[in-house]
């Protein structure tokens, strides 16, 4: 597996693994033993960056990662996230107060069976807590050896600068794909300037860009969050098929599947981008990872981007109340 650098010296595999869907937010929950076996396969294939969060479950995803990967911590890196109030097994709001961050870290370390979190993200900005205070708390945790690197999720350029002034940021995690390219406008110039890496989640559009979803696809609520996303109504799924067809045509011309096109395009945008596709199937894991070895001229990727830019995507990423 090829390697890339996030931030100042954090070397990881060119593709990471998003663990969330292994038991949270993606419909029917697969057998735990099969998921642990899949995690082991990812390690065998050279994946070194594994992403989870306390809110996934809550807690069950970190527990799965801890059980499945605790024997490999000498060769991989674990990313997790804080930032929510969790009561009676449910997230009930944002909370990034210093004492909450410390409590979250201690419990995450326990569930993950590790002494140090490699990359700790604030999951979402808490408007009640200045970002400088959040960054300062993580800075102290880094000094104490409980965290190695600091990251933020879904933030604007001003927030990145303010946090980075207190504690160097290693990576920003946000949604980014051929379906959602907005980070390029405001975020990428700042990341380039400050030497910060970028970790796209939902790099294949929550499976939409694989071509496996159509207007007749059934999503299984309540454990599949796509049920409530405007982009995944039957009407919008049908309207956005023009995007999938564009990927299929490009892939047919270059000997690639739609997921390989989606991931290959991301990797071709910047050398400091490390997508974290998730899956519950070994065949899809291998398909995704092979995109790191795709060799296509940058001019071809640019043509694909230009073709996609002419398509208007129907449906917002999130419902209005979640924006």
Catalytic center residues = 56
Q: Can you read off the two tokens belonging to residue 323?
A: 């924006």
CB atoms within 10 A of CB 221: 11
Q: For residue 218, give the DSSP letter.
A: P
Q: Which has the closest alpha carbon to 260: 300, 308, 209?
A: 209
Angle, in degrees to the nearest 10, between helices 298-309 and 241-254: 160
β-sheet bridge partners, residue 119: 79, 149
Query: Crossing angle, helix 157-166 and helix 183-194, to 10 degrees?
Result: 20
Q: How is residue 168 annotated by DSSP? A: -
Cβ burial of 87 (10 Å; 0-12, 13-18, 19+) is exposed
CA-to-CA separations, 227 to 26, 277, 319, in angstroms, rounded? 10, 20, 11
Q: Tell how far CA 231 is from the center of its chain.
A: 18
d(CA 223, CA 26): 6
C-beta neighbour count of 283 within 10 angstroms: 8
Write down how long the chain is. Answer: 323
Cα separation of 45 and 112, whole Å?
21
Exposed e or buried b per residue across 18-33, where buried means at least 16 C-beta atoms within 10 angstroms of its C-beta: bbbbbbbbbbeeeeee
């Amino acid at each position: 597996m090829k390697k890339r650098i996030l931030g100042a010296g954090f070397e990881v595999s060119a593709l990471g693994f998003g663990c969330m869907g292994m038991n949270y937010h993606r419909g029917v929950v697969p057998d735990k033993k099969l998921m642990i076996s899949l995690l082991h396969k990812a390690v065998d294939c050279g994946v070194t960056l594994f992403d989870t969060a306390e809110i996934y479950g809550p807690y069950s995803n970190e527990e799965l990662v801890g059980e499945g990967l605790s024997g490999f911590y000498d060769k991989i890196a674990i990313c997790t996230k804080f930032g929510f109030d969790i009561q009676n097994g449910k997230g009930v709001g944002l909370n990034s107060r210093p004492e909450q961050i410390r409590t979250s870290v201690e419990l995450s370390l326990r569930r993950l069976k590790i002494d140090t979190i490699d990359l700790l993200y604030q999951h979402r900005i808490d408007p009640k807590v200045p970002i400088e205070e959040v960054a300062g708390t993580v800075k102290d945790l880094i000094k104490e050896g409980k965290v190695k690197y600091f990251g933020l999720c879904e933030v604007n350029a001003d927030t990145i600068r303010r946090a980075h002034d207190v504690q160097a940021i290693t990576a920003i995690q946000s949604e980014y794909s051929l379906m959602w390219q907005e980070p390029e406008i405001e975020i990428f110039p700042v990341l380039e300037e400050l030497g910060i890496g970028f970790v796209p989640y939902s790099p294949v559009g929550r499976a939409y860009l694989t071509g496996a979803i159509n207007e007749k696809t059934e999503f299984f609520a309540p454990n599949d969050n796509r049920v409530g996303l405007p982009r995944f109504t039957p009407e919008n799924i049908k309207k956005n098929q023009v995007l999938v067809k564009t990927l299929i045509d490009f892939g047919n011309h270059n000997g690639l599947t739609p997921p390989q096109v989606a991931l290959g395009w991301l990797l071709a945008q910047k050398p400091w981008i490390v997508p974290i596709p998730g899956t519950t199937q070994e065949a899809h894991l291998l398909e995704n990872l092979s995109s790191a070895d795709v060799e296509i001229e940058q001019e071809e990727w640019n043509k694909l981007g230009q073709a996609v830019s002419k398509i208007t995507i129907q449906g917002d990423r999130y419902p209005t109340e979640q924006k």
